[in-house]
Structures are given as C-alpha cells and as structure tokens.
C-alpha cells in the first residue's frame, strides 16, 4: 500500500477491513501525512474499519504539526468513513510513548474505540474478540 524505507509501512488486509501501520521513525511531516491520507482514503471508501498502529520499535515522536493534522483532517475523515477502532501497539521507547499519547486522547473525543496492545498479534486477537466481523474474515 505505502512504504517509506526506515520510516513507515502501511499494509491493508481487505478481508478483515484492517489497516496495519508499522512505524519505524517519526519526524518527517510529509511522510506522516502521506501515510495518514492513505489510511483515511481506505476508511472513507468503506474498505477499512479497523487500524492497528505498531509503534513498538519506533523512534522519535510525532510533532505538534503532526498531531494537529490528525485532529483537523484525519479523524474527521475516519468519522465520516465509519472507523470502528484503533489499536496502538505500545512502544518500547518511553519518549515515543509520551509523544503518541495525544492521538489516543484525541481519538476518544471523536468516539473511536481506542485500545492498546503489547504486540500486533495481541492487537489482532483483541479485535477478533471485540468485533466479530474481524473474526469472521
């Protein structure tokens, strides 16, 4: 779907209506917005209902400009498209974890189900338990 070497990979699993995003490094606003625009496009088209954001190994933190972009442009698109839930795979870096807490708080204000998991596999299992449509795929 989208891959920017050493920064981010966005994968789409159509049968589960699931986007899996693996971040390696935050810091480039253009890459950040491109990644989110791809995701929002899938949600708006009704093709994706769930997103797993794997930041376990990520370094850096999203900037204030990145957070603003999520709140002003991405979350409204997710809402219009019917996004059900976002699961964040908890980062190992305390700095990255503090820097990404903002999107969880913001997501809750948009009334998305916001979860955390230790691994991508745990995130998948959580989605399968919580949302039967994922398990049926």
Question: For the segment 82-119, what is each residue's pLDDT rounded down to a tens digit?
Answer: 999 999 999 888 777 777 777 777 778 888 899 999 99
pLDDT of residue 133: 65
For domain 2-136, give the CATH superfamily: STAS domain (3.30.750.24)
The pLDDT confidence band at residue 35, using thresholds 50, 70 and 90, is: very high
Query: Can you tell me the mean pLDDT for 55-81?
Result: 94
**Would you state the pLDDT for residue 105?**
76
Query: 0.75 exceeded by the pTM?
Result: yes
| Domain chopping of the chain, boundaries | 2-136
Please give the order of strands across the beta sheet that includes 2-4.
2-4, 8-13, 18-23, 50-54, 85-89, 113-117
């Amino acid at each position: 779907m989208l891959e920017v070497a050493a920064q981010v990979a966005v994968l789409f699993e159509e049968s589960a209506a699931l986007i899996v995003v693996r971040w390696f490094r935050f810091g480039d606003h253009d890459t950040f917005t491109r990644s989110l625009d791809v995701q929002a496009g899938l949600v708006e088209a009704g093709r994706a209902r769930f997103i797993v954001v794997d930041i376990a190994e990520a370094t850096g933190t999203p900037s204030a400009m990145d957070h603003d972009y999520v709140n002003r442009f991405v979350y409204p698109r997710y809402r219009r498209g019917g996004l059900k839930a976002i699961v964040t795979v908890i980062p190992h870096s305390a700095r990255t974890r503090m820097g990404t807490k903002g999107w969880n708080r913001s997501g809750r204000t948009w009334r998305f189900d916001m979860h955390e998991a230790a691994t991508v596999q745990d995130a998948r299992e959580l989605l399968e338990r919580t949302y039967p449509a994922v398990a049926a795929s």
